Chains A and B, each alone.
Chain A
């Protein structure tokens, strides 16, 4: 079976902790959605409560450029 496609991957490497659950965030499956489009990604996710973290560089970099491209479709 072909590997599942991910548009972006970030591994928290144990540096991020979920304040509510008190556990480290792990690399987990997440999905960005905008204007009826979806993009599977791997982001730091809390294994217990499911909090998905979007770092600033990602939000203002890749995410912003994809948003703009989709807005002009």
Chain B
């Protein structure tokens, strides 16, 4: 029996199969973290989406807190801002953009101010001074106060009101009052009535660490003052200064200037580490189909009331790209957008010492490629996860446990249950039928009927190859095993004279297309050409056609199966997740082995689409839907009028493959086969059967244990239960079977379990 070497714990340093650069370029495709268009357009980087959400929920306190992050004087900004966010709003494409500015004004007016001011914050040691008045000076004072710098404003105006009034004539009386109160509440020192002459300036500046001035004052004291607009800084005169006109220019200028002050106070070059400033382009994708109310709430002359503002804010569709999360059960399970998950999974592969906490998510992806189709940028989680799996295998960090059962199953398909024979009477064949391992396991009678039909109706000889295409080891990231399987299949095909492969499974077709010089077709194409055989079971009622993930991107296969179903008389129910957007049933990528919970959610997701019976063209899909209790047919079962019946358990799947092989060898090729018979009787309780299927324990494992018991007599008797318990190490696991003797020479199996750890007696 085949074995797979378990990994050791030594550190293996090998080249990654997928590089960091490659991974970064893949991660880049996910636009989930891109800013919404309104925020991207705002030079001040207001988190507009969050503010509108808070306002829509009636939480004006939170909305104001968010707005105040970028606006020390929210009423001034909201009444004077040019609102580039409104023009960028995606709703403009289908109706009115959200009236952000009017909502901001209402938030500024009605929002309750948070009591957590900066009063108790420790002030910084470095002192700052602002010479002049106007919006830039006002905003900068607010920004510096927010950054906890002691700030002194020298202005010509005689009092606070006059200072505030400068350049804010557009404010209504109430707003002016409110902002005056806000200004009074800030920890800013004012020196009113100053004559801002060059001499006064020269006299005062020495007392401060960083000095700022409005544009007018800067040009008065230094005739040659030249501002670098990106920094709001005159380098020659070491003066932070204003530049530009308008409310937005002043607010944005003050923000940049405050950062420059910060850098200068720390004696750093103000050019360095500034991060992204100003408006940016956003690559976010927005699904506008969710927009409901397309017209703005009418804006009264006095501005929105609290309720009107909340109503208008509700129109915001909260631009988020969650296209993949909507359709993929795997991403939904881990509640992470794929860009982030991909980054974490890649980092997981780079851990040398420590826990690989992302092994489970990495192995839970079905590698089905649905995300790539539904993502507006073609994000490819399958590539990320399969690359990561290969990296883990190459560095010997991949645990064997999640995939071992499937890998051994593949070896079983390609060794014990493997069959490759030309049609009797032919040495070399024109065709070879390759039904796929799952078809032989789940619907052996269908495979036989299909083979006999192909032999009867095709000229040139049809060979048969029962085995696995290599998808299992490909999915597991076991690339060396995959190469071996590929060579093995190529050698077997060569023995048959390199015939045209008639694939019975779209995944096999996809895998075999990786082989150079293999000519391929699908049984669905052959059947369309030959016409339906006699006995085809027509289903004259609506059925939901489930497209196989193996056929993703292959319109020809999807179309051919649809035509075939049409000829069978089926009325097909298509849904938005048909065709290329079809989700995986949970078998793909070995999810069903590595993470049953996620696989189950994937199956449920597939069945959500329709209440009708399901027709599929992949045997694994057929099996998983039937297990879920849904009426489920493989299209070949309809074509050949065969019914595979209730879904088999893991042992029956092996038994079916072996029996099919032996039956065909005896009956078609007249070869003798070894009899598969035990020399003692073995029965299982229902509970034991259920337990074994759930715990992935095969009857072959149970037989190995009992054979061992018969040879050695080693077992224990539990006097509480009366059960005999024997064990045997098979491959990388120890299997335990609890049984009683039954009949003359037989056993009844009551329980079975296994563990991977080895246990030995210790001396001492």
Contact = CB atoms under 8 A, between A and B. Distances in A.
B595 interface: no
A72 B757 contact: no
A34 B357 CA distance: 19
B718 A15 contact: yes
Interface stretch (B5-13, B247-255, B292-300, B650-658): B5-13
Contacts of A16: 716-719
Given A56-B736, A73-B354, A63 B757 contact: yes
Interface in B712-763: 712-720, 724-725, 727, 734, 736, 738, 751, 753-763
Interface in B552-589: none
Interface in B312-369: 354-357, 359
Interface in A1-36: 15-20, 25, 28-36
Contacts of B718: 15-16
A45 B762 CA distance: 10
A52 B8 contact: no
Contacts of B738: 56
A31 B94 CA distance: 70
A52 B717 CA distance: 13
Contact of B758 (A19, A33, A50): A33
A49 B714 contact: yes
Contact of B757 (A20, A32, A50): A32
B405 to A, nearest CB: 14
Contacts of A56: 736, 738, 751, 753
Nearest to A37: B9
A69 B399 CA distance: 10
A41 to B, nearest CB: 8
Contacts of A52: 759-761
Contacts of A25: 716
B717 A35 contact: no
Nearest to A4: B764
Contacts of A34: 756-758
Q: Which of A30, A31, A46 has the most CB of B within 10 A?
A: A31
Which range contains the number of A residues in contact with the other chain?
35 or more
A61 B759 CA distance: 15
Nearest to A33: B758
Contacts of B725: 53
B401 interface: yes
A70 B313 CA distance: 51
Contact of B761 (A18, A28, A35, A73): A28
B719 A15 contact: yes
Contacts of A29: 761-764
A35 B727 CA distance: 21
A44 B720 CA distance: 15
Contacts of A37: 9
A51 B9 contact: no
B760 A17 contact: no
B752 to A, nearest CB: 9
Nearest to A71: B399
B399 A72 contact: yes
B3 to A, nearest CB: 16
Given A36-B9, A56-B736, A71-B401, A45 B753 contact: no
A10 to B, nearest CB: 12
Q: Which of A20, A33, A69, A71 has the most CB of B within 10 A?
A: A71
Interface string B678-719: 000000000000000000000000000000000011111111
A57 to B, nearest CB: 9
B713 A19 contact: yes
Contacts of A44: 716
Contacts of B760: 30-31, 33, 52
A2 to B, nearest CB: 15
B8 A36 contact: yes
26 contacts: A16-B716, A16-B718, A19-B717, A20-B712, A29-B761, A30-B761, A31-B760, A31-B761, A32-B757, A33-B759, A33-B760, A34-B758, A36-B8, A36-B10, A43-B759, A44-B716, A49-B714, A51-B714, A54-B755, A54-B759, A59-B736, A63-B757, A67-B757, A68-B401, A72-B357, A73-B354
Interface of B: 6-10, 354-357, 359, 399-401, 712-720, 724-725, 727, 734, 736, 738, 751, 753-764
